Amino acid sequence: MRGHFREKGIDQAQKVARFCEAHDMQLSLILTSPLRRAHETAKPMAAALRAELMIVPWLASGMHPEAALEELRAYRSQTSVMLVGHEPDFSQLAAHLLGLPTNNAIHVRKGSLTLLELDVFRAGAATLQFSLPCKLM
């Protein structure tokens, strides 16, 4: 069964990459969790989108939104950064960036593409542009 989930993750990553290409989404950097499934998901996207891929330990499962926001400050000179990691971490991070008191009002699905714009690196400063599950791409 483990191989099935791995194949599904790679298929979803390729689908997301094709969607990004088709909609001319330019990425300067993809940051990925060091955990194997996330890294294996990020590799085909980085190749297809010709983006630099960097493994960062803070994206490992159990990431705290405040710590992630602090780590993201180091990449503020990048025009567009994609994060590849885990749930419920991303829903918690999205809620934090959007200024929501909890992540009950937002759920970032596995294999989805969520775009948050952030000009100022602080909680509540992000704008949600979209969140698309893989099945709609």
Residue 95's pLDDT is what?
96
Provide the percentage of residues in the chain whose pLDDT is more than 90.
Answer: 55
- Residues 7 and 19: their CA atoms lie apart, in Å, by 18
CA angle 11, 33, 119 (to 5 degrees): 100
Do 67 and 123 meet the contact criterion of CB atoms below 8 Å apart? Answer: no
- Domain coordinates of the chain in residue numbers? 2-136
CA–CA dist 115, 104 (Å, integer) = 18
Q: Which fold has domain 2-136?
A: Rossmann fold (3.40.50)
Q: How is residue 76 written in tokens?
A: 């503020």
Please determine, for residue 1, whether its predicted confidence score (pLDDT) is greater than 50. Answer: no
Side-chain-side CA neighbours of residue 44 (13 Å):
18
The string of pLDDT tens digits covering residues 47-76 is 888 999 999 999 999 999 999 999 999 999
